[in-house]
Amino acid sequence: MNYNFKSLPAVPTAKELIDIVLSKTQRKTPTEIHPQMQISRIRKFYMRKVKFTQSTIEEKLGGMLEKFPKLDDIHPFYADLMNVLYDKDHYKLALGHVNKANHMVENVAKDYVRMLKYADSLYRGKTLKKAALGRMCTILKKLTNSLTYLEEVRKHLSRLPNIDPNSRSLIITGYPNVGKSSFMNLVTRANVEVQPYAFTTKSLFVGHTDYDFIPWQVIDTPGLLDRPLEQRNTVEMQGITALAHLNSCILFFIDISETCTYKIPEQIQLFRSIQPLFVNKPIGIVLTKTDIKKWEEVDLEHRNEIESLAAEHKAFIAQVSNENQDGVMNCRNLACEQLKAFRSQFKSKHTTATYTRAQPYVAMPKNQIEDRPVNIPESVLTQMQSGEKSPFSQNIKEMQEMNGGAGVFYIPPQEHFVDLEDEDWRYDVMPEFFEGKNVMDYIDPDIMDKLNDLEKEEEVLDDAHVPLDYDEMREIYEIRRKIFLRRKRIQQESMIRKGTFKPKRKEWSDVREGLEQLGIDPTPLKDKIKEKRKREESPEFTSNVDMDIDGDTGVETIKKRFRTKSKSLVKARKPGTIKDNPDRETLKHMAKVADKKHFDTKPKHLNTGKSGIGKRDYR
CATH number of the domain where residue 193 is located: 3.40.50.300
What is the DSSP annotation of 4-22?
Answer: -GGGPPPPPPHHHHHHHHH
**What stretches of 313-437 show up as alpha helix (H) in DSSP?**
328-349, 378-386, 396-402
The answer on pLDDT for 27 being more than 90 is: yes
What is the DSSP annotation of 117-155?
Answer: TT--SHHHHHHHHHHHHHHHHHHHHTTHHHHHHHHHHHH
Instruction: Confirm whether 391 is domain-assigned.
Output: no
The answer on pLDDT for 145 being more than 70 is: yes
355-396 pLDDT, tens per residue?
A: 445 567 777 777 776 777 788 888 778 877 887 766 556 677
Backbone dihedral angles phi then psi of residue 574, each to the nearest 5 degrees: -70, 145
Distance between CA 325 and CA 329 in Å, rounded?
Answer: 8
The answer on pLDDT for 474 being more than 80 is: yes
**What stretches of 252-294 show up as alpha helix (H) in DSSP?**
264-273
Distance between CA 50 and CA 136 in Å, rounded?
Answer: 10
The alpha carbon of residue 585 and the mean position of all alpha carbons in its chain are separated, in whole angstroms, by 69
Quick one: pLDDT at residue 555?
A: 52
Q: Which structural domain, as residue segments, surrounds residue 278?
A: 164-349
What is the average pLDDT across 110-123? 92
Strand locations in 270-381 (E): 283-288, 316-319
Name the nearest CA neighbour of 139 among 110, 111, 94, 98. Answer: 98
Q: Provide CB contacts within 8 A for 251, sequence distance 6+.
A: 170, 171, 172, 173, 284, 286, 331, 335
Instruction: Confirm whether 571 is domain-assigned.
Output: no
Positive or negative: CA dihedral 395, 396, 399, 400: negative
Instruction: Confirm whether 440 is domain-assigned.
Output: no
What is the average pLDDT across 500-522? 76
Q: Is there a contact between 133 and 22 (Cβ–Cβ < 8 Å)?
A: yes
Farthest-apart Cα atoms in the chain, separation: 163
Instruction: Confirm whether 462 is domain-assigned.
Output: no
For the CA atoms of 422, 427, 432, 436, the dihedral, rounded to the nearest 10 degrees, stands at -70
Amino acid at 558: I
- If one compares 252 and 409, the residue with the highest pLDDT of the two is 252
Greatest mean pLDDT among 49-53, 293-297, 397-401 lies in 49-53
Task: Assess whether 131 and 277 both reside in one domain.
Answer: no
Q: Of 349, 382, 398, at which residue does a domain stop?
A: 349
Quick one: pLDDT at residue 19?
A: 94
Could you give the 3-state DSSP secondary structure of residue 518? helix
Task: Assess whether 180 and 326 both reside in one domain.
Answer: yes
Distance between CA 298 and CA 296 in Å, rounded?
Answer: 6
Task: Assess whether 89 and 170 both reside in one domain.
Answer: no
Distance between CA 81 and CA 243 in Å, rounded?
Answer: 11
Q: Report the DSSP beta bridge partners of residue 173.
A: 252
Task: Assess whether 150 and 200 both reside in one domain.
Answer: no
Could you give the 3-state DSSP secondary structure of residue 367? coil
Distance between CA 194 and CA 523 in Å, rounded?
Answer: 126
Instruction: Confirm whether 37 is domain-assigned.
Output: yes
Q: Of 121, 137, 156, at which residue does a domain stop?
A: 156
Task: Assess whether 111 and 198 both reside in one domain.
Answer: no
Confidence bin at 493 (pLDDT 50/70/90): confident
The structural domain count of the chain equals 2
Instruction: Confirm whether 233 is domain-assigned.
Output: yes
Task: Assess whether 200 and 319 both reside in one domain.
Answer: yes
238-271 pLDDT, tens per residue?
A: 889 988 888 889 999 999 888 888 889 999 999 9
Percent of the chain at pLDDT > 90 equals 26
Quick one: pLDDT at residue 29?
A: 92
167-201 pLDDT, tens per residue?
A: 899 999 999 988 888 898 899 888 888 887 777 88
Task: Assess whether 200 and 343 both reside in one domain.
Answer: yes
Quick one: pLDDT at residue 615?
A: 57
Task: Assess whether 14 and 41 both reside in one domain.
Answer: yes
Q: Is there a contact between 124 and 89 (Cβ–Cβ < 8 Å)?
A: no
Positive or negative: CA dihedral 541, 542, 545, 547: negative
Confidence bin at 553 (pLDDT 50/70/90): very low
Quick one: pLDDT at residue 619?
A: 46
Name the nearest CA neighbour of 163 among 221, 86, 210, 92. Answer: 221
The answer on pLDDT for 165 being more than 70 is: yes
Task: Assess whether 149 and 233 both reside in one domain.
Answer: no
- If one compares 441 and 238, the residue with the highest pLDDT of the two is 238
Task: Assess whether 128 and 169 both reside in one domain.
Answer: no
Q: Provide CB contacts within 8 A for 214, sequence distance 6+.
A: 168, 357, 359, 360
Quick one: pLDDT at residue 93?
A: 93
CA distances from residue 425 to 289, 420, 430, 435 in whole angstroms, order as listed: 81, 7, 10, 22
Instruction: Confirm whether 14 is domain-assigned.
Output: yes
Q: How many helices (H) and strands (E) does the chain have?
A: 20, 8
Task: Assess whether 185 and 284 both reside in one domain.
Answer: yes
Helical pair 39-67 and 14-28, crossing angle rounded to 10 deg: 140
610: left (phi over 0), alpha (psi -120 to 50) or beta: beta
Name the nearest CA neighbour of 145 among 11, 9, 18, 14. Answer: 14
Confidence bin at 26 (pLDDT 50/70/90): very high
Q: Of 303, 320, 349, at which residue does a domain stop?
A: 349
The answer on pLDDT for 613 being more than 80 is: no
Quick one: pLDDT at residue 569?
A: 44
Q: Domain containing 33 — which CATH number?
A: 1.20.120.1190
To the nearest whole number, what is the mean pLDDT of the chain?
A: 80
pTM for this structure?
0.53
Task: Assess whether 39 and 68 both reside in one domain.
Answer: yes
The alpha carbon of residue 301 and the mean position of all alpha carbons in its chain are separated, in whole angstroms, by 68
Label the pairing between strands 205-211 and 214-220. antiparallel
Q: What count of other Cβ atoms lies within 10 Å of the Cβ of residue 529?
A: 13
Percent of the chain at pLDDT > 70 equals 79
Distance between CA 589 and CA 573 in Å, rounded?
Answer: 20
Confidence bin at 34 (pLDDT 50/70/90): confident
Confidence bin at 140 (pLDDT 50/70/90): very high
Quick one: pLDDT at residue 71?
A: 86
DSSP state of 321: B
List the 283-288 sheet strands across, edge first: 205-211, 214-220, 169-174, 249-255, 283-288, 316-319
Confidence bin at 542 (pLDDT 50/70/90): very low
- If one compares 328 and 348, the residue with the highest pLDDT of the two is 328
Confidence bin at 12 (pLDDT 50/70/90): very high
Quick one: pLDDT at residue 50?
A: 95
Quick one: pLDDT at residue 359?
A: 63
Q: Is there a contact between 49 and 27 (Cβ–Cβ < 8 Å)?
A: no
Quick one: pLDDT at residue 194?
A: 82
Instruction: Confirm whether 338 is domain-assigned.
Output: yes
Quick one: pLDDT at residue 350?
A: 55
What is the DSSP annotation of 523-578?
Answer: HHHHHHHHHHHSPPPPTTTTHHHHHHHHTT--HHHHHHHHHHHHHTTSPPPPTTSS
Q: Report the DSSP beta bridge partners of residue 171.
A: 219, 250
